Homo-oligomer: A and B are copies of this chain.
């Protein structure tokens, strides 16, 4: 019976009930056993130490010969003692060891200044581990120190659970293998790199499980079936990349319905809804959706728990996701800097960025879809919001699995106007001992974030149409009682970006009202949108006369890309966004200012930033980008 549209908890129950609980075991060399899980107790059949060993450097001696010895009343012995180094045997003529510090040798006689008891400074046979003792327990992971213990106990091999064998089968007509992809000078039109296997391989490496990847299979049930047929008897688990979707494109499920079995399909989860679990003959099959974040979520939530079952017979619900994510420990409750809406009735995977603000460690969601790869790589951690969690207010706590070590005291959060030259500052801030995290929310958004205490610094380039001056009036309005430091970082050229050669002959904003012209605008609050609004007003054009006025991007590059992609005729952006396929028509030069509340000036990260903006290497990079000036 296929279960459909089920929760993750239900999926885990199905995994547990459909998979044989008796894991396979094997014997491996201790030197190869790091990270493996013991399949039974290891009982010592040697003692450690296996002889009475000296615990110090000194003289083996009979304790009764030291009776009454003190520095004031030393005892002298002419024979009946023997030098031993630490770790050397104390033979049966002796019952203790006098430390070298408590003795001296004068005329071949031993001068003893301390009285010993029997057994003193001797590590007796079996002190560390005795024959018959449980030296390590079934289920223990072989740690570095346990491997050393096994060697010392004389074990060359130890019994461990066999690792599950996995194969990854990418599918998709548009997908080409990484090696072919990397061989092209330019990315071939309409094709996509098979990059998921790099991510999946990386996770398997971190988990300590082996995986093989086979060549990409076309979107064709027959070929998928052939691929499964050729691998099923060599692997415990086949992961199929993509190949499951709505409607007639549901290839993998066709194959399993006819030649195997499906246990569940469609999860109440975002992303990774199309995840499927079934089997082909004796091989478990998990279908991972194709988009990177969906693939990752299915890998973490379904493939990893399944691997744990195949490996050791089960998994711990409290820690399985933390392990799957290679997280630094358990999920920690962290307050959200800003509100987040989660879909009702679905488990949601949220990528998060972390920052400490005014002594409180907080997180905010990286807003991006399941198709984006960058946000997974950029995230500091992940939260798994349960089906019941819908509205997360600002300040409410969510449980975060951190996937990266965070140096909280170094990190500063920038919110403000998007600028590529500013972004390049990151590695220079790092060089001077800080860490810069940037969030593009536009000039007004940045000032508002500062005034709400949600950032360490902001930037703006806001033209006040009334005064004709930049920034002053906006800052005055937003800063309240706080003192804000202003730093004029640089001047930037703003202009109109059009298709290369300007085929529509756009000369200025006045052309934006033309019937054959459409634009991409920036989001409300962006300085660039404020500039456009000012120029439209000057030209006496109303926004609803401009096609595309309400289509918006949040970065200069994104806006320019949409023009290059033919989705609009023009946009307003800075010169650096005009790639070789675009033409830049200059309009104005504007000041780009950094705004830093005075209370943060002594922050480690801000201090690093102040040094970074003076760095000549960064300045050289900015000059090379073009469209920037240090002086007006």
CA distance A568 to B95 in the complex (A): 9
Say yes or no: B126 contacts A374, CB within 8 Å: no
Q: A119-B551, A198-B144 are in contact. Are A128 and B190 (CB under 8 A)?
A: no
Whether A260 is near chain B, meaning CB under 8 Å from some CB there, is: no
Say yes or no: A557 contacts B130, CB within 8 Å: yes
Residue of B nearest to A368 (CB): B128
Enumerate chain B residues within 8 angstroms of A473, measured Cβ to Cβ: none
Whether A202 is near chain B, meaning CB under 8 Å from some CB there, is: yes
Whether A420 is near chain B, meaning CB under 8 Å from some CB there, is: yes
Instruction: Of the listed stretches A44-52, A389-397, A521-529, A607-615, name the one at the interface; the rest are far from the partner chain.
Output: A44-52
Enumerate chain B residues within 8 angstroms of A200, measured Cβ to Cβ: 144
- A217 to chain B minimum Cβ distance, whole angstroms, is 15
Contact of A51 among B129, B189, B625 (CB under 8 A): B189
Instruction: Of the listed stretches A67-75, A83-91, A453-461, name the one at the interface; the rest are far from the partner chain.
Output: A83-91
- A291 to chain B minimum Cβ distance, whole angstroms, is 8
Contact of A100 among B47, B247, B579 (CB under 8 A): B247
Whether A329 is near chain B, meaning CB under 8 Å from some CB there, is: yes
**Binary per-residue interface labels of chain A (427-442) against chain B in the complex, 1 for a CB within 8 Å, 0 otherwise:** 1001000000000000
Say yes or no: A249 contacts B85, CB within 8 Å: yes
Enumerate chain B residues within 8 angstroms of A202, measured Cβ to Cβ: 34, 143-145, 147-148
CA distance A512 to B46 in the complex (A): 30
Contact of A198 among B31, B119, B328 (CB under 8 A): B31
CA distance A371 to B202 in the complex (A): 38
- A621 to chain B minimum Cβ distance, whole angstroms, is 10
Enumerate chain B residues within 8 angstroms of A41, measured Cβ to Cβ: 424, 426-427
- A528 to chain B minimum Cβ distance, whole angstroms, is 16
- A532 to chain B minimum Cβ distance, whole angstroms, is 18
Residue of B nearest to A247 (CB): B100
Residues from 485 to 500 in A contacting B, C-beta threshold 8 Å: none
Say yes or no: B567 contacts A122, CB within 8 Å: yes
Enumerate chain B residues within 8 angstroms of A625, measured Cβ to Cβ: 132
Whether A583 is near chain B, meaning CB under 8 Å from some CB there, is: no
Whether A576 is near chain B, meaning CB under 8 Å from some CB there, is: yes
Residue of B nearest to A204 (CB): B144
Enumerate chain B residues within 8 angstroms of A30, measured Cβ to Cβ: 198
CA distance A558 to B518 in the complex (A): 87
Whether A193 is near chain B, meaning CB under 8 Å from some CB there, is: yes
Q: A145-B292, A198-B144, A201-B144 are in contact. Are A89 and B189 (CB under 8 A)?
A: yes
- A516 to chain B minimum Cβ distance, whole angstroms, is 13
Contact of A148 among B196, B328, B518, B576 (CB under 8 A): B196
**Binary per-residue interface labels of chain A (170-199) against chain B in the complex, 1 for a CB within 8 Å, 0 otherwise:** 001111001001101011011011011011
Residue of B nearest to A206 (CB): B144
Whether A505 is near chain B, meaning CB under 8 Å from some CB there, is: no
Say yes or no: A187 contacts B50, CB within 8 Å: yes
Enumerate chain B residues within 8 angstroms of A291, measured Cβ to Cβ: 86
Name the interface size band of chain A: 35 or more
Say yes or no: B195 contacts A87, CB within 8 Å: no
CA distance A151 to B376 in the complex (A): 15
Query: Taking the full assembly, how many copies of this chain does it contain?
Result: 2
Main secondary structure, interface of A, reads: loop
CA distance A124 to B187 in the complex (A): 15
Say yes or no: A148 contacts B373, CB within 8 Å: yes
Whether A548 is near chain B, meaning CB under 8 Å from some CB there, is: yes
Say yes or no: A126 contacts B557, CB within 8 Å: yes
Contact of A558 among B127, B146, B172, B249 (CB under 8 A): B127
Say yes or no: A138 contacts B558, CB within 8 Å: no
Contact of A562 among B124, B192, B198 (CB under 8 A): B124
Contact of A376 among B40, B145, B372 (CB under 8 A): B145
Contact of A147 among B55, B199, B330 (CB under 8 A): B199
Enumerate chain B residues within 8 angstroms of A504, measured Cβ to Cβ: none
CA distance A430 to B152 in the complex (A): 26
Whether A205 is near chain B, meaning CB under 8 Å from some CB there, is: yes
Enumerate chain B residues within 8 angstroms of A316, measured Cβ to Cβ: 405, 407
Contact of A125 among B196, B199, B426, B564 (CB under 8 A): B564
Residues from 322 to 357 in A contacting B, C-beta threshold 8 Å: 322-323, 328-330
- A157 to chain B minimum Cβ distance, whole angstroms, is 9
Enumerate chain B residues within 8 angstroms of A420, measured Cβ to Cβ: 132-133
Q: A132-B420, A198-B148, A219-B85 are in contact. Are A125 and B561 (CB under 8 A)?
A: yes
- A314 to chain B minimum Cβ distance, whole angstroms, is 9
Whether A261 is near chain B, meaning CB under 8 Å from some CB there, is: no
A-B contact pairs, 11 of them (CB 8 A): A52-B566, A52-B567, A57-B246, A124-B562, A134-B426, A145-B377, A147-B201, A152-B193, A319-B405, A323-B405, A329-B402
Q: Taking beta carbons and an 8 Å cutoff, which residues of A are in contact with B?
A: 30-31, 34, 40-41, 46-53, 55, 57, 85-89, 92, 95, 100-101, 117-119, 122-139, 141, 143-152, 154-156, 172-175, 178, 181-182, 184, 186-187, 189-190, 192-193, 195-196, 198-203, 205-206, 219, 245-247, 249, 290-292, 296, 316, 318-319, 322-323, 328-330, 369, 371-374, 376-377, 402-405, 407, 409, 420, 423-424, 426-427, 430, 518, 548, 551, 555, 557-558, 561-562, 564-568, 576, 579, 625
* Closest 8 pairs (CB-CB, A-B): A144-B202, A329-B329, A130-B557, A126-B561, A148-B199, A145-B376, A138-B427, A151-B195
Give 7 A-B pairs besides A126-B561, A137-B427, A137-B430 with Cβ atoms closer than 8 angstroms: A57-B249, A127-B371, A134-B426, A139-B427, A148-B195, A151-B193, A323-B405
